[in-house]
Structure 1
């Protein structure tokens, strides 16, 4: 932190913003509440300072605005701020905790995302929501039909093969209004398929325009969804010191517990972004189960480790490779495995 800059902790919200800072010359403690309309005006008339905010909804937008005004913004993970909250939880105490956390050298800041990166993440979130809605509607339809003795196999493909025959058989037993409603629910599921495919096509179009996504899409197990999500979620690759740190950010490293100098490794930490970790693990599983030539390292790992351990290890390697290609602007190369002399 630059010692010459004053530090301001901000607890942001939809309408009201709470500010906390201590004057560097007089030591006076200031608590200021600002409306949304007056927020940027306050910092436009203020000398450059270090601003700490929690990385939450709207924080990246305000971080870009404040950076354009000449201030330095540090976005902090919520879990790193919580230990500094003292007393009852309110806006003033939260702002003071953010002010304290922003000055801690061990608290790592979150990279500020660009509008383009947030836009692609918006597509991913909308697609993920549609997939959840589709699954819920499909399971609800199967559950309703099972009440009348029509049990269908799991999966959309299995339901698509039998749904028309099932509804035809039930048409003689149930009122027409119920059959019509069931047909409408199935049509709604089919429409969701079209909407999901449309979003996926737009994601692929964005991949064709981004060089970083194209580079990491060459990695086995990384497809359009994984490539675009990784670049957007990563933000600035330079915010991570190494690929290992990015893999830890994705929650693909073991949890540690220990005392007295003894460290015990547990399962993966599952920290960071769940969506990115899920995509990487699914991609790694596809390489292990479907790839014709998964590679010598992967084959040897699969022979000496359980399948799930091997999948997570490969996902960890994919995350480190993604960071290396983005941070150093390199292209993927299938390096030969070193052999003993």
Structure 2
């Protein structure tokens, strides 16, 4: 493969390149329009192209890899450390090129079209969940101004409105009654959209053998199994279960100086959505009436959230091990939660 390394800053319409010619050591910069990117690299010998892992990066990675190039994606926060001077496209491309020279920066795994499509369903569902929460909170605040206090929780609030709608309408002016009707209609539409997306996720699980195996792990449900299956792929992007758990931000952050190291909370690096699903699943596992013996012992000496995070860490390791090794869940494993992690 040609030794040329290209740092490419991508955008909607303008793409900036930075590279050094291996023969003459000449520093080259070039600006390309969106329509000229593939044409430019199609005429080049197979090279190494490095980009930030930002919007559209996985699409361009697949397109450039199809031309025979080696494509790498770098975390944006790692590239930022190499930027100097004023902020512009050329400086960003140079920072990407400089960051590419450091092998200790972990590369972001490339996602296939199928992986991105499956994760997109999760993202849209999460979006509509946030919209639904915002809508019910807005309605709760507006009704409070007219003396109507809704109970805590979405289901309880909607149940009260359904049971006492006549009394509520008597406390509201006509315009507010119409507004209440429109908001309740919007909530019904959101419920239908969320249910439709969840049906799609269930269909993905039925057709995905990896997701079906992950679903057998206590603490990993429908959302966790399908999201983990789409994120992990074949698991080869991570060298070990420990590395995968670290990349999900489930290990402690530490600071040290003068020979003293202080451990803090979890780093919260990586995919916040996957981490959230793992921690929610772990909390349900810890709350169960008869937890695994080692979890019960840990609860005796550590706070609940610390135990839940430890269980989430083990769930992440178990998921990687099952995907990378092609094994099934082993309920009688002596570690209690994880298998071959």
* TM-score, scaled to structure 2: 0.95
Quick check: 1:11–1:17 contact (8 Å CA) kept in 2? yes
Deviation at 1:235, TM superposition (A): 4.2
CA distance, structure 1, for counterparts of residue 148 and residue 264 of structure 2: 45
Q: Do residues 319 (structure 1) and 316 (structure 2) align? A: yes
- 1:119 is matched with 117
Residue pair 2:161, 2:168 contacting (<8 A) in 1 also = no
1:130 deviation in Å?
Answer: 0.4
Shift of 1:152: 1.2
Say yes or no: does 1:29 pair with 2:27: yes
Between the aligned partners of 1:241 and 1:51, the Cα distance in structure 2 is 23
Gaps of at least 5 residues in structure 1 are none
Deviation at 1:259, TM superposition (A): 1.1
Q: Does 1:334 align with 2:331?
A: yes
Structure 2 stretches of 5 or more lacking a match?
Answer: 336-341
Q: Which residue of 1 aligns with 2:8?
A: 10
Identify the residue that residue 338 of structure 2 maps to in structure 1.
none
CA distance in 2, matches of 1:331, 1:178: 56
Distance 1:215 1:176 in 2: 54
**Quick check: 2:249–2:267 contact (8 Å CA) kept in 1?**
yes
- The equivalent of 1:294 in structure 2 is 291
RMSD: 1.4
Distance across 1 between alignment mates of 2:117 and 2:111: 10
TM-score, normalising length from structure 1? Answer: 0.95
Q: How does 1:1-341 map to 2 (within 5 A)?
A: 4-290=2-288, 292-337=289-334
User: How many angstroms does 1:295 deviate by?
Assistant: 1.6
Paired with 1:270 and 1:184, the residues of 2 have a C-alpha distance of 39
The Cα of 1:260 is off from its aligned counterpart by 2.2
1:39 and 1:293 map into 2 onto residues whose CA distance is: 58
